[in-house]
Chains A and B, each alone.
Chain A
Amino acid sequence: EPEVTQTPSHQVTQMGQEVILRCVPISNHLYFYWYRQILGQKVEFLVSFYNNEISEKSEIFDDQFSVERPDGSNFTLKIRSTKLEDSAMYFCASSEGGANVLTFGAGSRLTVL
C-alpha cells in the first residue's frame, strides 16, 4: 500500500535555529498538507498546497513557516526561527483530489530546546 514518507523521524534543535521537515507524498496525489500535534493535544491544520501554491493556511502558519515543493517528489515545511512552542509532532498528508481521503505520514517529532 502506498505511503507518505517523512524525514527526519525526530529532530532536536536549539531555539532560533531553522528547521526543514521533509515529506514524500504518494506519487499520484495532487494535494499536500501539513498538520501538527502538540503532545497530548488534537491534530491541528497548518497549510494545504495544490498546483505549486498554498491553497489554505491557518493562523498558526505565520511568517516563520513556509512550504515548498522543490522537485517532483518532495514537499517541505521550513520553520525559520524555531520557538519552544514549535515543539510538536508534524504530520504531512496527501490526497488524490481535494475531496478525497487524506493519508498521513508517520510524523516528524520536533523538539526545540
Chain B
Amino acid sequence: GENVEQHPSTLSVQEGDSAVIKCTYSDSASNYFPWYKQELGKRPQLIIDIRSNVGEKKDQRIAVTLNKTAKHFSLHITETQPEDSAVYFCAARSLSGSARQLTFGSGTQLTVLP
C-alpha cells in the first residue's frame, strides 16, 4: 500500500517569512495529493490539492509543487501570519484501481512567531 513520509515534524518561522513542508510517497499509481490544515481540536480542512497532470498550483499565499519522477510534493506558504499556525498534513491517493483511500503523512506542526 501507499506510504507517505512528511518532514519536518515541527517548523517555527517568523511572521512574514516563508514555510516549506515536504512529503514523499511510495505508490507510483497515486495521482491526487491534497494538503489539510488542522487547528487544535478541529477537523482537517483542505487548503489546496494537486493532481498529477500538473507540476505546480498556487492559491494566493499557498502553493504546492509536485515531482512525479522523484515521488515528492511540497507545500509552500509565503508571507506567513500567526493564523497560519496549525498542523499541516499531506496526503496521497490513487484515483484508479481498488485502493482509493487517502493515506496521510505524519503531520507538521507549524508555529508562526509574531
Contact = CB atoms under 8 A, between A and B. Distances in A.
Contacts of A103: 46
Contacts of B49: 101
B42 interface: yes
Contacts, number: 47
Contact of A106 (B43, B89, B100): B43
Interface residues on B, range: 20 to 34
Interface of B: 32, 34, 36, 42-46, 49, 89, 95, 98-107
A45 interface: yes
B47 to A, nearest CB: 11
B106 A48 contact: no
Contacts of A98: 95, 100
6 contacts: A35-B102, A41-B106, A45-B102, A45-B103, A98-B100, A103-B46
